Structure 1
Amino acid sequence: MEKTVAQDFSYDPFDPAVMADPLPFYRVLRDEHPVYYLPKWDTYALSRFADIWEALRLTDGTFVASEGTLPSAAVLEHHNSGPVADPPLHPMPFHANFDSPIYENVRRCTSAQFRPRSAATLADRIRTVANERLDELLPRGTFDLTQDYGGHVAATMVCEFVGLPVELAPEVLATVNAGSLAQPGEGVEVANSRPGFLSYLTPIIERRRAEGADGSVPIADSLINFVLPDGSGFSDTEAATQMLGVFIGGTETVPKITAAGLWQLAEHPDQLAAVRADPDANVPIAREEILRYTAPAQWFARTVRRPYTIHGTTINPGQRIITLLASAARDEREYPDPDAFIWNRPIERLLSFGHGQHFCLGVHVARLEVTIMMQEWFKRVGDYRIITEAAARPPSSFQWGWNNVPVEV
């Protein structure tokens, strides 16, 4: 039975009730408040697919990410009196906080391995890691899909991307997962977790700088050799900070999507049988519905630099919008019967990886990892049962995903 919300409706992404289950709130927002004002944060929430698609499409300076794409409550509680300036070059924050051209130029330093052709060359390696993990897990009979399978594979690949020993994959996974958690009523505070993340990344930069940064560790070396518009380069900490997108994004999302997808198929035996009939052909089709239905990222923010009018409401410079991607994924204006899981649903547009300038850097690798982990699963695993009573979805204002999905094979 679908949960309902009280008639005296209010929405706040940091509200404990929202963090526990945002979906009923999203339905009310889409139906009754497509542009919803949160006075405490001087921020507007956009909940419909088409509105978010259009807002994120704009690259003309109407929206900027100067305050971060995932600002904390401490940032949002400060109300701006006008347009927000770009951050200073030093100390350099994460490059996504900048507008063009700095954002795109720094992003190129981290993107080479994630372009379509480069991503395709990773298939054999991902398949090897997935099968090595299944070799270890399947004899146990019971294990965790998110942490033990998907998490291990994704974290191993991230270690290889950034230049960490793969033996650190379990530590990296635990560190990144901890950074997305929040107490009910409090938002995710990325700054609190950043020292832990940088404790892995800064030594990579220090080592590569000492070794000459010759390009053999592409991401780190490109950042070390990068020249900013003022002629300066990154310090070790600044260069490490630019690696956070790969380190965090590549680790936490794919495992949750893979586990939740296998869970959804297990709950729909007819759909599971259809996908199993030809995993090579059908898993990529099912993957897109899994991405729509289970992607854990809830929202991203922008700050308005030029007045923006939507549904008769003008949002002024200095105010913010939060784009509720997870609400857009359940918008019946885009997807008929959106709360139903339909493995071969036709999907023309998807917002699970964002849209526009800040479209997910690792989208091609993410799709490949989900596909291969599910294909190898179906080739090697017969019957399996999700131990639903032991599954856990910790509170978070951002990554509302299943951190633990125990399975019995």
Structure 2
Amino acid sequence: MTSTVTQDFSYDPFDPAVMADPLPYYRVLRDERPVYYIDKWDTYALSRFDDIWQTLAVNDGTFVASEGTLPSATVLAHPNDGPVPDPPLHPMPFHANFDAPIYDGVRRCTSGQFRPRAVARLAERVRELANERLDELLPRGRFDLTQDYGGIVAASMVCELLGLPVELASDVLATVNAGSLAQPGSGVEVANARPGYLEYLVPLVQRSRAEGPGGNSIADNLVDFRLPDDSTLSDIEAATQMLGVFIGGTETVPKIVAHGLWELGSRPDQTAAVRADVEANVPVAREEMIRYCAPAQWFARTVRKPYTIHGTTIDPGKRVITLLASAARDEREYPDPDEFIWNRRIERLLAFGRGQHFCLGVHLARLEIGVMVTEWLKRVPEWHIDGDAALRPPSSFQWGWNSVPVEV
């Protein structure tokens, strides 16, 4: 495929052919076109690890997310004549569309339960949920590793953190999965407040407003939050700010766990090496699983000040997409990047982003992945993935396994 890609090269993140197997495209971009202009979308793509690492660290107003961190094709189809303004305060979109101080202020409303000490206190609960799932699943002999194991554990934690009944975990998981699907060529703007999401989240805000502080720290903080003009958030606006937890906390971790166990289990020597000291080795293998299996492909910014990279100056109003999945396979950062090596030395990762928009749930994600892999290795001596039945649904920004059938 690489030779075909090179002969007549064109990269478009919404092209179904690209998303069917983006890795050959990323290699050509890294090797030959590290700053690639996508004329159709008036957008530049960055593909090398260090370029993205340095670009995402810029925090002086050069880049903004006013058009969203995952703008759909309908957004990108309209070129900008110059710098784009901030979104209006009302109706307020997802806070990631703003720069400081609004972004930082709303993020603080949702961040308390995701700080390292708070997350550490969740370890036993995650372990309990993982073993409850294994108690139910292992006697079946065959089930879906993404949805039935990792998906329910992650969605259960999201329910508990947001104040939803844990019995809704399977419904939340299905709702988030459906919201991430995309029609070929169109993309998904994840920050859209779809009714399916808000049916869960608006009642949390309404309950907090009616009952007062004490029941749900995230909802309580959002109800009390005041914008720079001293206005407050409506119920829908406050619920919209929970989307990062609701979506991100539900869909990413299960894909990493399932794909990571698939890769590890297909290499008996590596599996044996990790099993030799599960408690010490799983945290090491977890980082390779994150590098190799993280499903998010790219995130976008809009340029507000001229930015020059590799001799190319990107003017205000242009968009830049940072190809995090390409960075994860950059041989300049990781020797033999297409190989899964459980004890690879990893000094830097971009799977969780970098800079102002660094993933809010990074500590919880690492905890959940580590616990679920650990409990699996302790309880499952052998497993086989039915690769022919595994499924990657269409998506403009994810290349992750939504379904990984496993036999134990």
Q: TM-score range by the shorter chain?
A: over 0.9
Equivalent position amino acid for 1:361 in 2: L
SS of residue paired to 2:194: helix
- 1:203 is displaced (CA, Å) by 1.1
Q: 1:272 to 1:297 in 2, by over 3 A?
A: same
Q: Aligned pair 1:92/2:88, yes or no?
A: no
- 1:178 is displaced (CA, Å) by 1.2
- 1:189 is displaced (CA, Å) by 3.7
How far apart, CA to CA, are the structure 1 residues paired with 2:142 and 2:264? 18
Q: Aligned pair 1:133/2:128, yes or no?
A: no
- What corresponds to 2:272 in structure 1? 273
- What corresponds to 1:13 in structure 2? 13
Where do residues 378-389 of structure 1 align in structure 2 (5 Å cutoff)? 378-389=377-388
Task: Work out whether residues 68 and 191 of structure 2, in 8 Å CA contact, stay in contact via their aligned partners in 1.
Answer: no
How far apart, CA to CA, are the structure 2 residues paired with 1:193 and 1:217? 20
How far apart, CA to CA, are the structure 2 residues paired with 1:162 and 1:13? 33
- 1:378 is displaced (CA, Å) by 0.7
- What corresponds to 2:163 in structure 1? 163
How far apart, CA to CA, are the structure 2 residues paired with 1:357 and 1:94? 15
Task: Work out whether residues 147 and 255 of structure 1, in 8 Å CA contact, stay in contact via their aligned partners in 2.
Answer: yes
Task: Work out whether residues 386 and 406 of structure 1, in 8 Å CA contact, stay in contact via their aligned partners in 2.
Answer: yes
- What corresponds to 1:302 in structure 2? 301
RMSD over aligned Cα atoms: 1.2
How far apart, CA to CA, are the structure 2 residues paired with 1:92 and 1:76? 20
- 1:397 is displaced (CA, Å) by 1.2
Task: Work out whether residues 66 and 97 of structure 1, in 8 Å CA contact, stay in contact via their aligned partners in 2.
Answer: yes
- 1:277 is displaced (CA, Å) by 1.3
Equivalent position amino acid for 2:147 in 1: Q
- What corresponds to 1:403 in structure 2? 402
Q: List per-residue Cα deviations over 1:206-232 (Å, max 9, x = no partner).
A: 1111111x1331111110111111111
Equivalent position amino acid for 1:244 in 2: L
Task: Work out whether residues 283 and 375 of structure 1, in 8 Å CA contact, stay in contact via their aligned partners in 2.
Answer: yes
How far apart, CA to CA, are the structure 2 residues paired with 1:393 and 1:3? 24
List gaps (5 residues or longer) in structure 1.
none
SS of residue paired to 2:78: coil
- What corresponds to 2:245 in structure 1? 246
- 1:183 is displaced (CA, Å) by 2.4
- What corresponds to 1:114 in structure 2? 114
Q: 1:3 to 1:196 in 2, by over 3 A?
A: farther
Q: 1:191 to 1:367 in 2, by over 3 A?
A: closer
Task: Work out whether residues 176 and 250 of structure 2, in 8 Å CA contact, stay in contact via their aligned partners in 1.
Answer: yes
- What corresponds to 2:374 in structure 1? 375
Where do residues 216-227 of structure 1 align in structure 2 (5 Å cutoff)? 216-227=215-226
How far apart, CA to CA, are the structure 2 residues paired with 1:2 and 1:149? 35
Q: List per-residue Cα deviations over 1:30-81 (Å, max 9, x = no partner).
A: 0010000011111000000000001100110000000000001011011000
Task: Work out whether residues 34 and 48 of structure 1, in 8 Å CA contact, stay in contact via their aligned partners in 2.
Answer: yes
- 1:181 is displaced (CA, Å) by 1.3
How far apart, CA to CA, are the structure 1 residues paired with 2:70 and 2:304? 17
Q: 1:11 to 1:95 in 2, by over 3 A?
A: same
How far apart, CA to CA, are the structure 1 residues paired with 2:74 and 2:396? 14
Equivalent position amino acid for 1:29 in 2: L
Equivalent position amino acid for 1:206 in 2: Q
Q: List per-residue Cα deviations over 1:124-173 (Å, max 9, x = no partner).
A: 00000110111110110100000000000000000011111111100100
SS of residue paired to 1:255: helix
Q: Aligned pair 1:54/2:59, yes or no?
A: no
How far apart, CA to CA, are the structure 1 residues paired with 2:148 and 2:170? 9
Equivalent position amino acid for 2:102 in 1: I
- 1:6 is displaced (CA, Å) by 4.7
TM-score of the superposition, structure 1-length normalised?
0.98
- What corresponds to 2:261 in structure 1? 262
Task: Work out whether residues 215 and 222 of structure 1, in 8 Å CA contact, stay in contact via their aligned partners in 2.
Answer: no
- 1:190 is displaced (CA, Å) by 3.1
- What corresponds to 2:72 in structure 1? 72
- 1:191 is displaced (CA, Å) by 6.3
Where do residues 263-342 of structure 1 align in structure 2 (5 Å cutoff)? 263-342=262-341
Equivalent position amino acid for 1:55 in 2: T
- What corresponds to 1:63 in structure 2? 63
How far apart, CA to CA, are the structure 1 residues paired with 2:205 and 2:56? 33
How far apart, CA to CA, are the structure 1 residues paired with 2:112 and 2:140? 38
- What corresponds to 2:391 in structure 1? 392
Equivalent position amino acid for 2:127 in 1: R
List gaps (5 residues or longer) in structure 2.
none
Q: 1:3 to 1:158 in 2, by over 3 A?
A: farther
Q: 1:191 to 1:274 in 2, by over 3 A?
A: closer
Q: Aligned pair 1:184/2:203, yes or no?
A: no
Task: Work out whether residues 193 and 240 of structure 2, in 8 Å CA contact, stay in contact via their aligned partners in 1.
Answer: no
SS of residue paired to 2:41: coil
Aligned residues: 408
TM-score of the superposition, structure 2-length normalised?
0.98
Q: 1:387 to 1:3 in 2, by over 3 A?
A: farther
Equivalent position amino acid for 1:272 in 2: T
How far apart, CA to CA, are the structure 2 residues paired with 1:72 and 1:203? 28
